[in-house]
Each structure stands twice: as structure tokens, then as C-alpha cells.
């Protein structure tokens, strides 16, 4: 710092003779250069010598390794070329020119992720457990710059499994406003179908909400915080207040009333109707035979409660009704200990058909009741606890197409939150109603009984019960097969910190 009182001119005067300073030789600088040169050249010589196996006979490639390989890839531990481009880096044909070009490349671009990525993809394509496709893309079609594989899956950190993908990797996009805005913008230029990441499965009905106009590009840093304060958004089906699209009539509350008869001595509980799948992850679809028929047996003839309509197919029901005499004949035979006489059966059939006519008035009224009666048409003196003698419309939306009744097929959703990987088995100790609190009171099918985010935060938060709230607890990253191939960006702006530059972890 210049002392006060001196003019610019005086200061300049002081350095006048020194302008050529750096051009002149100085013993210290010469020495420094020589040492550096020797160190570099020595290192180079050592590498070449080592490559040529001068010093050690059984040279191991591990010498160059920056750390042990994860156990997933342990079998390639000795075979660096599985991931590294041997010719470019450390092949036996290492030349000075090659070495220079590698060093230069590393200096400008950091680690050559692109060639490593290529190796990762190539091998994982061939290994069926992963089934990565050639056009395998990382995440979402509107991602502006994909991350290289090795940013998230870090190798050389020692044996054992690879370390879990950290939230910071997700936050490097999801918590960056500029990136998310650019992604939202890019999203508007892409056809909507490329966002259909999860293929439709014919066996499963998935409740998929339409993608919002700006995509799923809200900016947030953590799961547990309130959405208004930079936390994970409320789940879309709660946010949208989306109704359950099912047309099956079902009233949860009614089935917990005190007049509902016990089945095999047990009051109805959630598990009577909701059976977990073999993994215990999700619940299986409701089934008429297993969960309704005991009480809703599709009886129609008050004098013959043992006779049931077949379920599940309007045509079968109509055939059944057209062949009623044969059904009664069958019933007569099954009811009699010994083979009933022909006349007995004939009389029985005639009596029952007359009885039906008395019960319903006409054939048309009878068919109407069977298909369209919403309320159970039980006998006056019947015990009101069994919900028998009802029409299909008791549970279904039934329309008439001319004289043909049409039952709208129930739309029983199997998966409600397809973007997350929920697992009931991990919550076996939590009561159903802690998450599905509305179930016992719900009167309409259209009500969605799914938990909101606050229910999860009660445990999944560093502030409450301290169950993990890392993104990968609930989400994965790789979407199954995609349509758009992305460029992986491996370079980085010069202003970024060195470590970040190496890892390419910035934008
Ligand atoms: C399963 C793949 C895999 C195998 C096998 C592998 N590496 Fe790596 N290596 C990587 C990845 C990925 C990186 C990039 C950064 C990181 O994650 O450390 C890397 C980085 C390196 C680096 C430092 C960065 C550079 O490229 O300049 C060296 C040195 C290295 N590996 C040497 C080796 C040697 C020597 C072997 C064989 C003994 C080997 N590696 C085997 C995946 C592998
Ligand atoms: C030469 C073939 C090969 C190459 C190259 C390779 N992998 Fe793998 N990788 C495998 C195999 C095989 C497994 C399964 C090992 C096991 O069952 O544990 C695996 C496992 C993994 C897993 C763990 C999967 C799990 O079950 O959690 C990850 C992540 C992974 N590889 C990422 C990478 C990345 C990133 C690269 C590039 C740096 C890479 N792989 C390169 C063959 C390869
Ligand atoms: C932004 C981070 C990120 C990037 C980039 C990334 N992955 Fe992954 N990868 C994940 C996460 C998260 C999982 C789920 C594993 C978990 O839950 O621990 C995963 C799982 C895997 C698995 C395990 C098998 C599977 O499908 O579940 C393989 C193999 C894998 N990744 C390979 C790759 C390859 C190859 C690349 C580069 C083309 C890559 N990953 C890039 C985050 C990433
Ligand atoms: C390279 C940037 C980038 C990274 C890294 C990233 N995401 Fe995303 N992610 C996006 C973008 C962009 C979208 C919005 C897609 C849209 O608009 O529909 C998105 C959407 C999502 C969605 C909702 C959409 C869906 O269909 O599932 C989830 C969940 C998600 N990301 C989880 C993760 C997790 C978990 C990680 C970390 C392992 C992660 N993301 C890392 C860019 C990224
Ligand atoms: C008598 C059978 C029965 C019992 C008992 C029952 N459910 Fe259901 N549940 C159904 C049927 C049928 C559906 C499909 C129709 C619908 O969505 O209402 C359903 C749907 C559901 C759904 C998903 C549909 C949505 O809209 O979110 C949840 C969650 C659910 N039930 C929770 C419960 C819980 C919790 C209990 C115990 C308190 C319970 N159920 C008891 C029959 C039953
Ligand atoms: C333990 C016996 C029992 C089981 C099992 C049962 N229900 Fe019911 N259900 C009843 C009774 C009793 C009523 C009341 C009938 C009445 O009011 O006349 C009823 C009423 C209904 C109603 C009319 C509700 C209302 O709002 O009035 C529908 C619809 C219904 N059940 C559908 C089903 C479906 C679908 C299943 C199978 C998933 C089922 N029930 C399982 C006993 C049962
Ligand atoms: C107590 C309620 C109830 C009554 C009454 C009822 N159903 Fe159903 N029905 C169901 C349930 C629950 C399902 C969905 C589960 C299944 O397919 O088992 C269903 C499914 C169906 C399906 C779709 C089957 C498929 O393959 O997906 C048809 C068609 C059907 N019912 C027709 C009828 C007809 C016709 C009647 C009158 C004779 C009738 N149902 C009476 C509850 C009922
Ligand atoms: C405790 C479980 C859980 C954790 C932890 C979690 N999420 Fe989610 N996330 C969900 C569920 C559930 C949904 C709703 C899924 C659906 O509707 O299909 C969701 C939805 C999303 C969406 C779509 C948002 C929208 O606008 O609808 C994105 C993006 C997302 N998560 C990213 C993340 C990221 C990034 C993290 C880590 C900071 C994270 N999630 C942590 C459970 C979780
Ligand atoms: C920790 C919260 C939690 C608890 C406890 C819980 N559920 Fe769920 N349940 C969920 C979530 C989240 C979903 C949505 C999963 C999906 O489909 O993506 C769900 C979905 C369902 C569905 C719809 C079908 C399916 O599997 O997606 C049924 C039925 C259901 N739960 C019943 C139950 C019953 C019965 C219990 C008690 C034995 C129970 N749940 C306990 C959170 C919970
Ligand atoms: C009463 C506490 C509690 C509540 C409420 C709760 N969880 Fe969990 N959750 C847990 C515990 C405990 C684990 C097990 C953690 C482990 O295995 O390390 C877990 C594990 C999970 C997992 C990991 C499953 C796996 O495959 O490993 C997911 C996903 C998850 N929860 C999602 C949710 C969602 C979504 C909600 C809200 C609908 C929720 N949880 C509500 C306690 C809770």
C-alpha cells in the first residue's frame, strides 16, 4: 500500500527499473523450475517404467487406482478397462503424446465422464438384471443437462456397496430455480407423450394425474418443510382434490355400523376386505366373491334364499333368468335326500314360478328388480342385517341400452401415487387409520382416502421421529425406457470450485 502523501508519479518512479523483472533470470526461479521439471519428468518416467514393468515383475493395475472398487463391481477390480478407456489413460501403449493429451483434457474438463458413462451404459445394457436400453436416458425428458452416472454412483470409495445417492444430487436440480424454470420451459416444447414415463400395465389400474402445465418443477430443498417454506410439494392427488373415479358404490362408514353382522364371529375390519399382495407392499384389488358375497349373496327369490344369481356378467344373468325352470329343477334335486319323482319336480317348478310372479308382478318388473333395484327388496319380516335381495344397481352404475342392461365396470385403482414407491410392509406397526384417517367415516366412493404429506412428515423428518426423509427413501431416479436421448454435460464453468469441477456436479 502506498504511503499517504506520495503522488502516482512518485510511485511509478519506484518501479521504473523493475519492468523487466520477470524476463530476467533469477537463481531461485531457475531452481524452482528445475525441481518442478525433474519432479514431473521423474513421475512420467516412473509411470512409463512402471507400465513397462521394469521395477516390478507382476505389476498390478491397482497401483494407479484412486481407491478400492465397490463390491458390486468387485469382479472388475483388476480390469480397469471395463470402466476406463485403456488407450487414453493407462494402456500398455502409453506414449508421451497420449499422456499429454490426457493431462490437457483433464485440466480443461475434469475427469472424462463421457467415456466412463459410455462404459457404464454399455455393460449395463448387456446385463439383463438392469435391462437398460440403448436410448437409456437418465430421468425426465425436459432435464436441461443430465448428470453423469459417476456423479451419483461414486466408485473408488472402498469395498462394500456404493454409497447411497445423496439428496444434494437431487437438490442440484430440484432446488435450483434457474434449472427448474429452464426445464419447465423446455417441457412446453416437448410432446406430452414423452412424459408418460411409466408404461401402462394392463394388469394394473394406476391413478395418474395429468401433468401440470409447468411440469413437476417446483423448487424445494427438503421433504419435511412446509411447501410454502421451500419444502416438498403437497402430493398432487391431495393438492388437486381429485375424486376417486370409481363407479362402484361403496360406503365404508355403513359397513362399520353396529347392525352389520359379524362374519365367522368377527366384526368387519379393514383386513376383511383389504388383503396385502404377496410382498405386503400394496393391497390387492377388492373381489366380489371374497369380500361381498357372504352378505350380498345376490338372492332374488324370497322363498328360495339358496338360489343366487351368478355375478359378473349380464349375459350370464340373463341366461340364468331364461332358464329358471331348469334352475328350480336343479334346486329341487339338490334339496331332496332321495331322487324326487318327475311329477314332484314339475309341481315344485310351477309353484316357484308362480311365487316369483306374485313377488314381482310381471316378468319385466322381475328383470327390472334384478338389474336396476338400488335398495335391497327384502321381505317385510326378514332380519335386516343381511343385505340380500338387491339388484345389480345396489353396487353398480347400470344403464339400459334398449332392453339390455349395461353394467359399468368398476374402476378399482391399484396404485395411487405412482411417482413414489410406498411400501405398506415397512409400516406394519402403524395402524391403517393413522394414514387412512377418513376411511371409517367415508360414505362415498368418490372420496379419496389417501394420506397427505403432513401424515408422512409426522415420522419422515429430521425434526420429529427422525425416520429418513432422504429423497431416495421414497423415489428412484431412473425412469423406465424413454424416448428422448440426452447429451451428458461433462465440462463446467471455470468459476466453480475445483472439487465440483472434477465431479461436474454444478450446472
Ligand atoms: C466399475 C468401474 C470402474 C473400474 C473397474 C475402475 N474405475 Fe477408476 N474410476 C471410475 C469412475 C466412475 C471414476 C470417476 C470418479 C470417481 O467416482 O472416483 C474413476 C476415477 C479414477 C481415477 C481418477 C480420475 C481420473 O480418471 O483421472 C483413477 C486414477 C482411476 N479411476 C483408476 C482406476 C484404476 C487403476 C482401475 C483398475 C485397478 C480402475 N480405476 C477401475 C470407475 C471405475
Ligand atoms: C463390465 C460391466 C459393468 C460396468 C462397466 C459397470 N457395471 Fe455397474 N454393475 C455391473 C454388474 C454385473 C452389477 C451387479 C453386481 C451385483 O449383483 O452386485 C453392477 C451393479 C451396479 C450398481 C448397483 C446396483 C444395485 O443393485 O444397487 C450400480 C449403481 C452400478 N452398477 C453403476 C455403474 C456405474 C455408474 C458404472 C460406470 C462407472 C458401472 N456400473 C459400470 C456391471 C458393470
Ligand atoms: C442424479 C443421480 C443419478 C445419476 C446421474 C445416475 N443414477 Fe443410477 N441411480 C440413482 C438412484 C437414486 C438409484 C436408485 C438406487 C437407490 O435407491 O439407492 C439408481 C440406481 C441405479 C442402478 C441400480 C439398478 C436400478 O435400476 O435400480 C443402476 C445400475 C444405475 N443406477 C446405473 C446408472 C448409470 C449407468 C447411470 C448413467 C447413465 C446412472 N445410474 C446415473 C441415481 C442416479
Ligand atoms: C438433472 C436435473 C435433475 C436431477 C439431478 C434430479 N431431477 Fe428430478 N426432475 C427433474 C425435472 C426437470 C423434473 C420435472 C419433470 C416434469 O416437468 O414433468 C423432475 C421431476 C422429478 C419427479 C416427479 C416426476 C415423476 O414423474 O416422477 C420426481 C419424483 C423426481 N424428479 C425425483 C428426483 C430424485 C429423487 C432425484 C435425485 C436422486 C432427482 N429427481 C434428481 C430434474 C432433475
Ligand atoms: C367391506 C369391505 C371393506 C372394508 C371392511 C374396508 N374397505 Fe376400504 N375399500 C373397499 C372397497 C370396495 C373399496 C373400493 C371403492 C372405494 O374406493 O370406496 C375400498 C377402497 C379403499 C381405499 C382406496 C380408495 C380411496 O378412495 O382412497 C382405501 C385407502 C381403503 N379402502 C381403506 C380402508 C380402511 C383403512 C379400512 C378399515 C378402516 C377399510 N378400507 C375397510 C372395501 C372395504
Ligand atoms: C358383513 C356383511 C357385509 C359385507 C361383507 C359387505 N356388506 Fe355391504 N352391506 C351390508 C349390510 C348389512 C348393508 C346394509 C343393507 C341395508 O341397508 O339394507 C350393506 C350395504 C351396502 C351398500 C349400500 C350402502 C348404502 O349407502 O346404503 C352397498 C353399496 C354395499 N353394501 C356394498 C358392498 C360391497 C361392494 C361389499 C364388498 C366389497 C360389501 N358391501 C360387503 C353388509 C355387508
Ligand atoms: C354388493 C355389491 C355388488 C352387487 C350387488 C353386484 N356387484 Fe358386480 N361387482 C361388485 C364388485 C365389488 C366388483 C369388482 C370386483 C370383482 O370383479 O369381483 C364387481 C364387478 C362386476 C363386473 C365386472 C367384472 C369384471 O370382469 O371386471 C360386472 C360385469 C358386474 N360386477 C356385474 C354385476 C351384475 C350383472 C350384478 C347383478 C346381478 C352385480 N354385478 C351385482 C360388486 C357387486
Ligand atoms: C416420505 C416419502 C417422500 C420423500 C422423503 C420425498 N418424497 Fe417426493 N413425493 C412423495 C410422494 C408420495 C409424492 C406424490 C407421488 C404421486 O402423486 O404419484 C411425491 C412427489 C414428488 C414430486 C412431484 C411433485 C409434484 O409437483 O406433484 C417431486 C418432484 C418429488 N416428489 C421429488 C422429491 C425430492 C427431490 C425429494 C428429496 C428432497 C423427495 N421428493 C422426497 C414422497 C416423498
Ligand atoms: C404410513 C401410512 C400408511 C399406513 C399405515 C397404511 N397405508 Fe394404505 N396407503 C398408504 C399410501 C401412501 C398409499 C398409496 C400407495 C400407492 O398406491 O402408491 C396407500 C394405499 C392403500 C390402498 C390402495 C391400494 C394400494 O395398495 O395402493 C389400500 C386399500 C390401503 N392403502 C389400505 C390400507 C390398510 C388396510 C392399512 C392397514 C392395514 C393401510 N393401508 C395402512 C399409506 C398407508
Ligand atoms: C408412524 C411413523 C411413520 C409414518 C406416519 C410414515 N412412515 Fe414411512 N417409514 C416409517 C419407518 C419406521 C420406516 C422404515 C425405515 C427403515 O426401514 O429404515 C418407513 C419407511 C418408508 C419407506 C421406505 C420403504 C422401503 O421400501 O424401504 C417409504 C417409501 C415410506 N416410509 C414412505 C412413507 C410415506 C409416503 C408416508 C406418508 C403417507 C409415510 N412413510 C408415513 C415410519 C413412518
Segment 327-356, tens digit of pLDDT: 999 988 887 666 667 778 899 999 999 998
- pLDDT, position 321: 93
Residues 52-68 have a mean pLDDT of: 52
Q: Which of 102, 128, 135, 132 shows the shortest CA–CA distance to 120?
A: 132
CA of 157 to the centre of ligand 3 (A): 16
CB 424 within 8 A of CB 283: yes
For residue 58, pLDDT beyond 60:
no
- pLDDT, position 33: 76
What residues are in contact with ligand 2 under a 6 Å CB criterion?
72-73, 76, 82-83, 116, 119-120, 123-124, 127, 149-150, 153, 155, 162
Task: Give 355-360 contacts, CB < 8 A, sequence gap 24+.
Answer: 355/301, 355/303, 356/301, 356/324, 359/301, 359/302, 359/303
Give, rounded to a whole angstrom, the gap between the first and last alpha carbons of the chain: 39
CB 219 within 8 A of CB 230: yes
Angle in degrees, CA 242, 248, 249, rounded to 5: 95
- CA torsion, points 334, 359, 305, 383, in degrees to nearest 10? -160
- pLDDT, position 396: 95
Cβ-based neighbours of 332, under 8 Å, separated by 6 or more: 340, 344, 345, 348, 349
All three cell numbers of 215: 411440469
User: Which ligand is nearest the CA of 262, by number?
Assistant: 6
CA of 440 to the centre of ligand 9 (A): 14
CB 396 within 8 A of CB 408: yes
Give the span between the Cα atoms of 447 and 301, in whole angstroms. 34
Choose the residue to mutate in 284, 292, 449 for probing ligand 5, maximizing ligand atoms within 8 Å of C-beta.
449
Give the span between the Cα atoms of 455 and 459, in whole angstroms. 8
For residue 134, pLDDT beyond 50:
no
For residue 306, pLDDT beyond 70:
yes
**Residue 124: pLDDT band with limits 50, 70, 90:** confident
CA of 55 to the centre of ligand 1 (A): 23
**Residue 498: pLDDT band with limits 50, 70, 90:** very low
All three cell numbers of 157: 470409495
CA of 454 to the centre of ligand 3 (A): 28
295 lines ligand 6 (CB under 6 A): yes
CB 139 within 8 A of CB 146: yes
Instruction: Give the Cβ contact number of residue 137 at 10 Å.
Output: 21
Q: What percent of the chain has pLDDT over 70?
A: 74
Question: Residue 389 burial (CB < 10 Å; 0-12/13-18/19+)?
Answer: buried
Mean pLDDT for the chain overall: 80
Instruction: Give the Cβ contact number of residue 300 at 10 Å.
Output: 26
Out of 4-8, 45-49, 266-270, 475-479, least confident range: 45-49
* 312 vs 45, residue with greater confidence: 312
For residue 160, pLDDT beyond 50:
yes
Amino acid at each position: 500500500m502506498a504511503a499517504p502523501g506520495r503522488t502516482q508519479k512518485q510511485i511509478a518512479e519506484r518501479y521504473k527499473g523493475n519492468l523487466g523483472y520477470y524476463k530476467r533470470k533469477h537463481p531461485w526461479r531457475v531452481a524452482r523450475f528445475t525441481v518442478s521439471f525433474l519432479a514431473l519428468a521423474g513421475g512420467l518416467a516412473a509411470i512409463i517404467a512402471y507400465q513397462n514393468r521394469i521395477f516390478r515383475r507382476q505389476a498390478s493395475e491397482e497401483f494407479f487406482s484412486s481407491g478400492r472398487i465397490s463390491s458390486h463391481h468387485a469382479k472388475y477390480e483388476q480390469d480397469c478397462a471395463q470402466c476406463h478407456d485403456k488407450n487414453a489413460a493407462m494402456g500398455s501403449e502409453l506414449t508421451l503424446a497420449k499422456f499429454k493429451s490426457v493431462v490437457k483434457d483433464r485440466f480443461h474438463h475434469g475427469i472424462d465422464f463421457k467415456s466412463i458413462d459410455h462404459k457404464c451404459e454399455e455393460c449395463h445394457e448387456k446385463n439383463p438384471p438392469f435391462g437398460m436400453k440403448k436410448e437409456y436416458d437418465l430421468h425426465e425428458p425436459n432435464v436441461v443437462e443430465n448428470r453423469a452416472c459417476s456423479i451419483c454412483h461414486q466408485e473408488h470409495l472402498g469395498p462394500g456397496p456404493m454409497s447411497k445417492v445423496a439428496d444434494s444430487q437431487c437438490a442440484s436440480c430440484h432446488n435450483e430455480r434457474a434449472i427448474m424454470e429452464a426445464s419447465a420451459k423446455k417441457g412446453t416444447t416437448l410432446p406430452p407423450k414423452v412424459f408418460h414415463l411409466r408404461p401402462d400395465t394392463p394388469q394394473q389400474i394406476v391413478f395418474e394425474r395429468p401433468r401440470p402445465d409447468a411440469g413437476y418443477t417446483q423448487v424445494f430443498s427438503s421433504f419435511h418443510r412446509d411447501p410454502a417454506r421451500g419444502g416438498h410439494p403437497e402430493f398432487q392427488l391431495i393438492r388437486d382434490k381429485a375424486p376417486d373415479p370409481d363407479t362402484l358404490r361403496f360406503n365404508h362408514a355403513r359397513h362399520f355400523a353396529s347392525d352389520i353382522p359379524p362374519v365367522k364371529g368377527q366384526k368387519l375390519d379393514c383386513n376383511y376386505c383389504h388383503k396385502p399382495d404377496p410382498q405386503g407392499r400394496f393391497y390387492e384389488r377388492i373381489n366380489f366373491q371374497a369380500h361381498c358375497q357372504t352378505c350380498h349373496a345376490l338372492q332374488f327369490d324370497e322363498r328360495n334364499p339358496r338360489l343366487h344369481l351368478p355375478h359378473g356378467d349380464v349375459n350370464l344373468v340373463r341366461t340364468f333368468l331364461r332358464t329358471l325352470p331348469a334352475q328350480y329343477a336343479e334346486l329341487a334335486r339338490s334339496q331332496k335326500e332321495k331322487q324326487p319323482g318327475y311329477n314332484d319336480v314339475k309341481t315344485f317348478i310351477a309353484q316357484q314360478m308362480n311365487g316369483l310372479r306374485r313377488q314381482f308382478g310381471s316378468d319385466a318388473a322381475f328383470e327390472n328388480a334384478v338389474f336396476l333395484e338400488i335398495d335391497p327388496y327384502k321381505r317385510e319380516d326378514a332380519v335386516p342385517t343381511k343385505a340380500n335381495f338387491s339388484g345389480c344397481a345396489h353396487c353398480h352404475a347400470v344403464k339400459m341400452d334398449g332392453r339390455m342392461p349395461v353394467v359399468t365396470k368398476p374402476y378399482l385403482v391399484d396404485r395411487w401415487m405412482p411417482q413414489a414407491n410406498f411400501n405398506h410392509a415397512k409400516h406394519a406397526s402403524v395402524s391403517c387409520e393413522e394414514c387412512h384417517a377418513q376411511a371409517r367415516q367415508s360414505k362415498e366412493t368418490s372420496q379419496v382416502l389417501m394420506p397427505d404429506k403432513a401424515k408422512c412428515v409426522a415420522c419422515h423428518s429430521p425434526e420429529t421421529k427422525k425416520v429418513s426423509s432422504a429423497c431416495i427413501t421414497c423415489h428412484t431416479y431412473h425412469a423406465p425406457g424413454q424416448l428422448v436421448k440426452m447429451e451428458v454435460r461433462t465440462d463446467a464453468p471455470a468459476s466453480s470450485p475445483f472439487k465440483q469441477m472434477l465431479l461436474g456436479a454444478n450446472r
